[in-house]
């Protein structure tokens, strides 16, 4: 069996020094375009593969980063994990994925265990139950990037979408198609329910700006965002003594799909009788009958920014923390318009940071 190519073999083939090959392979220092092309050609010809483990150990790194999410079987998080893994691979990192089930102690454990410092170079955390008081002091040797809502006023990088603006856009769309009695499913009026609270704020702002009175009894809280939560909440709305709403804004697509299931099994037409909007743009919603109108966060951008911020911190402990908001889209489908073809209304994100 032929021995694998070594650094010195690539250097000899390219006619450059071993240090030049190392600089090209690892991106440590600028190399002239002519030499870089020679090295890349030699790497391809010889089939050279850098020893990532040896390189990482030499640098005191494991080459592993952790992605911590509440629930892997929730499609939004599994689709996000795929995007994070793809982006991290471009930087030479392997992603280890863990889930917390939204358990506060589990989330704290995963970011505070001292032993993890030898295992993971950094952590990307989508927390569900943590508050600002749960986060440890920032440790530059083990970067932490937060996804979702802002839990802390500084020190940590944070990547999210503007949930207030997105929820407002979803609600305004329902008003634009002529609905006036709109319900909302998914509010979480407690300390760690910030994402849901922001979506409620956007829902309320849309009413206020359009001059449409809000019936707060139509805002249905949910502890979880699963199919059954949407189905049960929708049944309560159908059984109201004053009659059901003519539209529903659901705080994620699973809730929306559960709500639609209840509507269809009770002979309610979607969207003719009740229009439904979701949030997340999971793949299942595109193939639902009716297909689901939804808010689509730019998951690729979330993954890209999260990984890039983590890598920036790994390369320089002095890198400033930043709050980054990514784009989202309102994707209009059959559950609000009855039309098979989808249309897209784009909304821009914004960069907020570095922290002051």
**Is the model more confident about 108 or about 99?**
99
Q: Is 283 helix (H, G, I), strand (E, B) or coil?
A: helix
Phi, psi at 323, each rounded to 5°: -105, 120
Q: CA 99, 103, 104 angle in degrees (round to 5)?
A: 120
Domain boundaries, the chain: 7-50, 64-160+299-325, 163-297+329-352
Please name the fold of domain 7-50: 434 Repressor (Amino-terminal Domain) (1.10.260)
Across the range 197-219, mean pLDDT stands at 96
In terms of CATH, what superfamily is 163-297+329-352?
Response regulator (3.40.50.2300)
Helices (H), the chain: 7-14, 18-26, 33-46, 52-58, 75-90, 104-112, 163-176, 194-210, 227-238, 253-265, 283-287, 299-315, 334-337
Across the range 242-265, mean pLDDT stands at 98
Q: Encoding tokens for residue 182?
A: 């709109």
Residue 228 has pLDDT above 90, yes or no: yes
Residue 213 has pLDDT above 50, yes or no: yes
Using the structure block, give the residue that is written with the tokens 């994990």.
81
Give the pLDDT band (50/70/90) at residue 105: confident
pLDDT at 161: 92
**163-297+329-352: same fold as 64-160+299-325?**
yes
Give the pLDDT band (50/70/90) at residue 117: very low
**Is the model more confident about 274 or about 62?**
274
Decide if domain 64-160+299-325 falls under CATH 3.40.50.2300. Answer: yes
Q: For 342, left (φ over 0), alpha (ψ -120 to 50), or beta?
A: beta
Give the pLDDT band (50/70/90) at residue 339: confident
β-strands 157-160, 182-187 pairing: unpaired
Pair 247, 179: CB distance under 8 Å? yes
Across the range 237-246, mean pLDDT stands at 97
Q: Is the peptide bond before 163 cis (omega within 30 degrees of 0)?
A: no
Considering the entire predicted model, what is its pTM? 0.78
Q: pLDDT tens-digit profile of 156-199?
A: 888 999 999 999 999 999 999 999 999 999 999 876 678 899 99
């Amino acid at each position: 069996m032929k021995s694998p190519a070594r650094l010195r073999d690539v250097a000899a083939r390219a006619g450059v020094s071993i240090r030049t090959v190392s600089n090209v392979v690892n991106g440590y220092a600028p190399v002239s375009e002519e030499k870089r092309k020679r090295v890349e050609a030699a790497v391809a010809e010889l089939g050279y593969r850098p020893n990532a483990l040896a390189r990482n150990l030499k640098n005191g790194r494991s080459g592993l980063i952790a992605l911590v999410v509440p629930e892997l079987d929730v499609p939004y998080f599994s689709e996000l994990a795929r995007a994070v893994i793809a982006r991290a691979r471009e930087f030479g990192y392997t992603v280890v994925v863990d889930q917390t089930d939204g358990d506060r102690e589990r989330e704290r454990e995963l970011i505070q265990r001292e032993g993890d410092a030898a295992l993971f170079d950094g952590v990307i955390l989508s927390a569900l139950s943590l508050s600002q008081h749960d986060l440890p002091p920032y440790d530059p040797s083990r970067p932490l990037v937060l996804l979702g809502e802002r839990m802390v006023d500084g020190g940590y990088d944070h990547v999210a979408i503007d949930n207030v603006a997105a929820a407002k856009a979803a609600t305004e769309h329902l008003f634009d198609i002529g609905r006036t009695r709109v319900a909302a499913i998914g509010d979480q009026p407690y300390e760690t329910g910030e994402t849901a609270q922001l979506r409620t704020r956007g829902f309320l702002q849309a009413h206020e700006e359009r001059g449409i009175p809000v019936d707060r009894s139509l805002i249905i809280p949910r502890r979880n965002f699963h199919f059954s939560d949407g189905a049960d909440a929708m049944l309560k709305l159908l059984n109201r003594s004053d009659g059901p709403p003519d539209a529903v804004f659901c705080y994620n697509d699973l809730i929306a799909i559960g709500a639609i299931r209840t509507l269809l099994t009770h002979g309610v037409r979607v969207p003719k009788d009740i229009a439904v909007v979701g949030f997340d743009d999971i793949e299942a919603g595109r193939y639902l009958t009716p297909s689901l109108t939804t808010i689509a966060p730019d998951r690729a951008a979330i993954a890209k920014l999260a990984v890039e911020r983590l890598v920036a911190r790994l390369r320089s402990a002095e890198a400033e923390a930043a709050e980054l908001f990514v784009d989202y889209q309102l994707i209009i489908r059959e559950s609000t318009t009855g039309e098979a073809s989808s249309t897209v209304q784009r909304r821009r994100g914004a960069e907020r940071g570095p922290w002051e």
